[in-house]
């Protein structure tokens, strides 16, 4: 009986493991298509409606006439419209899609040159016992990039740098990603001096430009301290015991191994030139955004130039540059397609004329709240809008 009980116990454990493994998260494409299908079905339920658009003389942009909402003839999504929304979403986000692919290609060329690994390794080695300053430094820099430039999507180019730096100092992939993306996230959330969001909104509201900055600075400082405490505690825990990492045992598309300082090579002259090209290009983008209001196409052009000049500085042949660039772009094709699929949700809503109806219904509910609660209601509704991409990117 003892042997039988042991066998049954082992069998039960095996079944439990199998049941856990069988519960897997669906692929992101499956989740997005399910949402697209759900929204398409809603077009048969939600009435169609529209606001009139008028030109705002202050900003030169089109805004809604909030008193002009009216119901229009329903235009539910057909089967062809359902599938057509996906290529339409990719077309409408083509600038971002190509930016992602070009960034992937440029980073692959720079990575192949060895400039990233050797440069970051040398920097990490110089930090030595001051490695605890890395996280607050990264958070501070990217927070101000978000608070002044409204930098959010385009920080993806810095994520590989953050990951490599974090891995060099014994942290995990999440730490490297978070100290870049979270900094930009709470920076743009605080919106201290962002001209594209705060500046435009205050012009529309008739308020002095950047008024109330002191309050937004307090909010930003609060976000910074909270994020720093949380991320530092997590990073220390992971460094002390790598099994505590949320990514422990998880296979990623790219293997970011910890840098071996004993075998790291000194930065060569060619690699110094590559790093100079990279950071000069990034500085040019920042200058162009501030001075000439550059946007995605200009950013793509600069990253493409960075890839070509970095490859030539690394003494790659034109064919080697092209092959490496293609391989890098291939690694980010998944993320690029996700952008287009997500946009398909709003494509269906706009084509079926239900997006204004949703806005009208939500605004009607908010109008019932006291003024003190109305702002919170607008905040949460805006979060929902951003999740399903009902509103355009804040940049022009």
If pLDDT is split at 50, 70 and 90, which confidence band does 34 have? very high
| Mean predicted lDDT score pLDDT of the chain | 81
Give the pLDDT score at 44. 95
Q: Highest mean pLDDT range out of 97-101, 127-131, 362-366, 390-394?
A: 97-101
If pLDDT is split at 50, 70 and 90, which confidence band does 60 have? low
Give the pLDDT score at 38. 95
Q: Which of 187, 154, 110 is nearest to 299 (CA)?
A: 154
The DSSP element (H or E) to which 381 belongs, if any, is helix 371-387
**Rounded distance, CA 152 to CA 96, Å?**
12
For residue 322, pLDDT over 90 is answered with: yes
Give the pLDDT score at 8. 45
Give the pLDDT score at 200. 67
Give the pLDDT score at 33. 94
The DSSP element (H or E) to which 133 belongs, if any, is none
DSSP sequence for 323-373: HHHHHHHHHTHHHHHHHHHHHHHHHHHHHTT-HHHHHHHHHHHHTTS-HHH
- Exposed/middle/buried for 246, CB within 10 Å: 0-12, 13-18, 19+? exposed
**Higher pLDDT, residue 41 or 359:** 41
Q: Which of 296, 280, 279 is nearest to 151 (CA)?
A: 296
Reported as a single tens digit per residue, the pLDDT across 251-301 is 655 555 555 555 667 888 999 999 999 889 888 887 887 788 787 889 899
By the 8 A CB rule, do 32 and 343 touch?
A: no
**Higher pLDDT, residue 221 or 6:** 221
If pLDDT is split at 50, 70 and 90, which confidence band does 77 have? very high
Give the pLDDT score at 17. 44
Give the pLDDT score at 129. 64
Task: Answer positive or negative: Cα dihedral of 78, 82, 84, 88.
Answer: positive
By the 8 A CB rule, do 63 and 54 touch?
A: yes
Reported as a single tens digit per residue, the pLDDT across 330-386 is 988 988 898 889 899 989 999 999 989 988 888 888 878 777 777 777 777 777 666
Reported as a single tens digit per residue, the pLDDT across 3-32 is 444 444 544 544 544 444 445 778 889 999
**Rounded distance, CA 320 to CA 328, Å?**
12
The number of residues in the chain equals: 396
Give the count of alpha carbons within 13 A of 249, CB side only.
Answer: 3
Mean pLDDT along residues 75-85: 95
**Rounded distance, CA 185 to CA 226, Å?**
13
Give the pLDDT score at 75. 92
Give the pLDDT score at 153. 61
By the 8 A CB rule, do 188 and 150 touch?
A: yes
For residue 223, pLDDT over 90 is answered with: yes
For residue 137, pLDDT over 90 is answered with: no
**Rounded distance, CA 384 to CA 373, Å?**
17
């Amino acid at each position: 009986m003892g042997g039988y009980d042991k066998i049954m116990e082992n069998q039960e454990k095996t079944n439990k493991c199998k049941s856990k493994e069988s519960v897997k998260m669906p692929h992101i494409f499956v989740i997005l298509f399910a949402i697209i299908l759900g929204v398409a079905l809603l077009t048969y339920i939600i009435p169609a409606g529209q606001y009139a658009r008028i030109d705002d003389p202050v900003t030169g942009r089109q805004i809604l006439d909030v008193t002009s909402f009216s119901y229009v003839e329903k235009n539910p999504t057909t089967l062809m419209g359902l599938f057509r929304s996906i290529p339409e979403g990719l077309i409408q986000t083509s600038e971002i899609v190509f930016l992602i692919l070009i960034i992937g290609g440029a980073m692959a060329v720079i990575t192949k040159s060895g400039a990233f690994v050797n440069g970051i390794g040398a920097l990490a080695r110089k930090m030595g016992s001051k490695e605890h300053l890395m996280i607050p430094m990264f958070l501070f820099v990217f927070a101000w990039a978000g608070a002044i430039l409204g930098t959010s999507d385009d920080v993806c180019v810095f994520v590989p740098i953050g990951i490599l730096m974090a891995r060099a100092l014994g942290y995990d992939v999440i730490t490297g990603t978070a100290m870049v993306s979270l900094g930009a996230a709470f920076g743009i959330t605080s919106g201290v001096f962002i001209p594209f969001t705060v500046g435009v909104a205050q012009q529309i509201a008739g308020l002095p430009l950047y008024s109330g900055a002191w309050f937004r600075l307090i909010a930003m400082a609060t976000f910074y301290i909270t994020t720093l405490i949380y991320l530092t505690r997590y990073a220390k825990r992971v460094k002390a015991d790598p099994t505590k990492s949320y990514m422990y045992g998880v296979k990623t598309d790219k293997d970011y191994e910890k840098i071996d300082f004993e075998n790291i090579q000194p930065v060569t002259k060619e690699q110094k030139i590559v790093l100079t090209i990279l950071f000069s290009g990034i500085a040019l983008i920042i200058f162009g955004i501030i001075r000439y209001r550059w946007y995605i196409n200009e950013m793509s052009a600069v990253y493409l130039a960075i890839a070509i000049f970095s490859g030539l500085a690394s003494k790659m042949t034109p064919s080697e540059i092209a092959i490496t660039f293609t391989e890098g772009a291939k690694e980010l094709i998944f993320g690029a397609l996700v952008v287009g699929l997500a946009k398909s949700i709003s494509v269906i809503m706009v084509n079926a004329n239900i997006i204004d109806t949703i806005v009208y219904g939500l605004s009607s509910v908010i109008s019932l709240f006291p003024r003190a609660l109305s702002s919170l209601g607008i905040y949460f509704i805006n979060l929902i809008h951003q999740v399903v991409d009902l509103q355009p990117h804040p940049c022009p």
